[in-house]
Amino acid sequence: MLVQEDTIAAIATPKGVGGIGIIRISGPKAEEIGHRLFKPQKCSFPLQSHHLYYGNIVSLDTGAILDEALLSIMRKPHSYTGEDTIEINCHGGPIVLEAVLHEAVKAGSRLAEPGEFTKRAYLNGRLDLAQAEAVIDLIMAQSNRGLSLALSHLKGNVSQKVHSLRSSLIEILAHLETLIDFTEEDINISPSSELADAVQHIIDDIEEILATYSEGKTVRDGLSIIITGKPNVGKSSLLNRLLGEKRAIITPIPGTTRDFIEEALLIKGIPVKLIDTAGIREVKDQIEAEGIKLVWEKISSADIVIILLDGSTRITEEDLEVIEKNKGKEIILAVNKSDLPSQIQDNDLGMTVSGVDPIWISAKYGDGIPQLTEKIYELAVGNKRTTESDVVLSNLRHKVAFEKARDLLTVAYNTILQGLSPELAAFDIKESLEHLGDIIGETTNEDVLDRIFSTFCIGK
C-alpha cells in the first residue's frame, strides 16, 4: 500500500438541500479527527470499524453542538481508499455541511482535490485505472444500459481482458527472447509460423474489442440528433411526438421556431439529445438569420440529422438545399404528413439522396414513428456491433491504447512471418505491452493520471 502522509476531506454528496449529507475523511489522521469532532451518545472511543454510531458533531473551539450525526469508521485496508476513512452523516443543509467540513480541516485535514479519493484507491491497489475511470462513468450514466456498461467495467470486465492479452503477449515475448539468446543452440522452439499465428490471434481479439467502440461510446455519451428542414414541415410536431408531450409551440405560421429547442429522451436505452431547429429558408429579418445560422452550426456537430419533408407538397429548392448540404452525414430522410394526399413519390426522393430509404410518417397521428425510432437505433448501434466480444469499449483513451497496441503487433506479425531478426519483433511487442498497460494504469505517467482524475467530482 502507498502511504499518504496527509488526510483529505470533502463533502461527498451533491450540492443543494437534502435529507442527508456526507462528509468523507481519508488518511492517517482520519480516526483522530473523528475522535475530536464526534461525541458518541452511548459509547466511547475507540469505536469498532464498519459500525454506525449516533452522536453529536461539536466545534473544536467552543464545544458547541453543530449537528446530530451518524459516524462510521472504516479502518485500512478495508475501505474505499485503502486508508483509514471516516464518514459523517449529517443533515443535508449546505450550511451544516460546510460548518462540519470547516471543523474537519481545522482538526488536521485538507480539502480534497477532484477525484482524489478514487485516485488514492487506485494508488493503494484497490482499483486499477480502468476500474477507477468506470467510477465516474457509473456516476454520470444516462441510461440503464450505460449504468450496466459502467458497472461491468468497474467489476473488471475490461481489466481482465487486458490482463489476458498481456499474459499471452508475455508468453510470445519469452519465445522471442529465447530465439535472441540461444540462436546458436540446439533447443526446441516454436516455428516462426506458430509465433506469427499466436500474434495474429491477439490482433484479432483486439479488433473485436475495437469494433464495439461505436456502440459503447453511444451508450455512454448518447447521441445528438437534429431535426431540420424548411419551415412548416412539422419539425416541432415531430419533436413533440417523439417526446410524448407538447414541448414546442406549433402554429401554421412559417418561422414560428426562431431559436433551437433541446430535449433529452431515451430511444431503446440510448440517451438522445433531440434538437428542434428553425426552418431553413430565405431569411426575412436579422433575428431569423441568426436562428438559421445556429441551425447550420448545430447540424455540423450532430451525430444524426433527420431531414423532414412535407409529403403533401412537391419538393422545393429549400428542400434540395437542406439535402445537399447534409450529404456525407448520417441522415434519416423522413416524409411527414402521410395522413394527407401525397405529392412526393419515392422515385423523386431516390434521385435526391441515393442509398437512403425515406420513412413516411405522420407527426400528427404517430404513423411511422416506430419505424423512425428503429432507424435511429439502427444508425446508433444496430449495424455497428459486428462481433460477439464480451468487452464493450466506451472510453476513448482505452480505444487509442488498443489501436496503438494492435498497430505494433501487426508490425511484429509481419516481422516474424518474414523471418527477420526476433529482436525487432520483441521490441514492438514490448511497446504494445506498454500501451495495454496504460489502460489499467501499470505504465501510466503522473500527468495522465492527474488529467483523468481531474474530471471527477470533488468527494469521489
Domains and CATH numbers, the chain: 8-128 (3.30.1360.120), 141-212+390-441 (1.20.120.430), 222-382 (3.40.50.300)
179 Cβ contact list (under 8 Å, min separation 6): 189, 422
| Lowest-confidence pick of 53-62, 71-80, 328-337, 373-382 | 373-382
3-state secondary structure of 360: strand
Average pLDDT over residues 190-208: 89
Tell me whether the omega of the peptide bond preceding residue 77 falls within 30 degrees of 0, making it cis: yes
The pLDDT of residue 235 is: 86
pLDDT digits (tens, 9 = 90+) for 223-247: 899 888 888 888 888 988 888 877 6
Cα separation, 223 vs 329, whole angstroms: 14
Identify the H or E element spanning 307: strand 304-310
pLDDT digits (tens, 9 = 90+) for 416-450: 988 888 899 999 999 999 999 999 998 888 888 88
Cα separation, 222 vs 304, whole angstroms: 11
pLDDT band at 327 (very low <50, low <70, confident <90, very high): confident
pTM above 0.85, yes or no: no
Cα separation, 71 vs 54, whole angstroms: 7
Residues 62-81, buried b or exposed e (16+ Cβ, 10 A)? eeeebbebebbbbbbeebbb
Q: What is the mean pLDDT of the chain?
A: 86
pLDDT digits (tens, 9 = 90+) for 154-196: 999 999 999 999 999 999 999 888 877 665 555 545 557 889 9
The pLDDT of residue 257 is: 47
Q: What is the DSSP letter of 93?
A: -
